[in-house]
Amino acid sequence: MDKTVQNTINSLVDAFDSYEIPDEYRDTVEAFKQKLVDFGNLHPDTIYFFQEYPDSGLQEEYTDLISKVVTASYKPIDSEVKLPSVSEYLEQYRQAYEELCKRDSQKGRAAYEALFNVANRTDDLLEAQLIIEKERLNWKIITEDAIEIFEKKLSKMDPLNLATTAKLLGQIDVYKCAKSEAELDYLIDKQDVKDVSIIADYTIKMTLAAGLSYELLKYIDTHDKKYKKHICATLKYMTDYMGLKFDDLINNDCVAIWMLDPHNLDEYGKTKDAMNPKVLETFKSIIDTIQEEEKE
């Protein structure tokens, strides 16, 4: 598993080491630790991990178990159970917060700090729990960190290549909108359908643009009528079956780039080497000429 996933797992596992685990919970805690490790091994990629974790039930299981451990670790005084203060209760999140700070997650840090700030809003543990639940603060420490991970990944990618960015863009929107696990699951299913449509539409237009560029360059170079015939056939297909005109391709930056014979200069293709964009004006002129000739 990658470092971010490992650190996330470690922070949850290590949180239990801050307390003396009562015998009644010892086996349960160990089993849960192993479950976290197994989940991390099954989802070793950061993005995949944070996509699947909210729906796994592990965060709820963790919160429930560590709450029992924290409460049980305080010894009875005069036959009465001494409950932890709000600040003491929230300390269970400290190690996870410190691990998150090491990788400089600004959104994640803000979410944890909002959680810690509950101690400044009330001294009553029950009221604190109600605030945390009502404002979904436990939920936000997961989603805000995940959103920042997705956004950092997205910033490295070619913004014009929807075939690779559509999924991430959709995930970011979903995580920003979802207020619960059930809603997240529902929105992800809906977004998956949208993503298929977006990627398919983009891929078709990208293929058409690249194909037309090839035929146009060949036509410019050879003046061979067979390339003119291919160009006319492609334009007719676009019009008859897709309702597209040549202008629809060159006026869409995400598509037009593929008419310029682009070559990636970095891992994710954010930087490219390509023909001068002015060649699109030449292509447009040739297309206009060909279409005028076809009318005659």
pLDDT tens for 65-106 read 877 777 776 555 444 557 789 999 999 899 889 888 888 889
What integer pLDDT is reported at residue 206 of this predicted model? 94
pLDDT at 28: 87
Residue 169, CA atoms < 13 Å, CB-side half-sphere: 15
The whole-number average pLDDT for the span 17-39 is 83
**Mean pLDDT (whole number) for 25-30:** 86
Query: pLDDT, tens digit, for every residue of 111-143?
Result: 999 999 999 999 998 899 889 988 999 899 989
Cα separation, 62 vs 67, whole angstroms:
8
Average pLDDT on 225-245 reads 92
The pLDDT confidence band at residue 209, using thresholds 50, 70 and 90, is: very high
User: How much is the pLDDT for 292?
Assistant: 86
Is a pLDDT exceeding 60 seen at residue 165? Answer: yes
What mean pLDDT do residues 26-39 have? 86
141-to-8, 40, 135 alpha-carbon distances in Å: 12, 18, 12
Quote the CA–CA distance of 54 and 73 in Å, as a whole number. 28
Asked if 84 and 77 count as a contact pair (C-beta separation under 8 A), the reply is no
- What is the model's pLDDT at position 158? 92
| More confidently predicted of 178 and 22 | 178
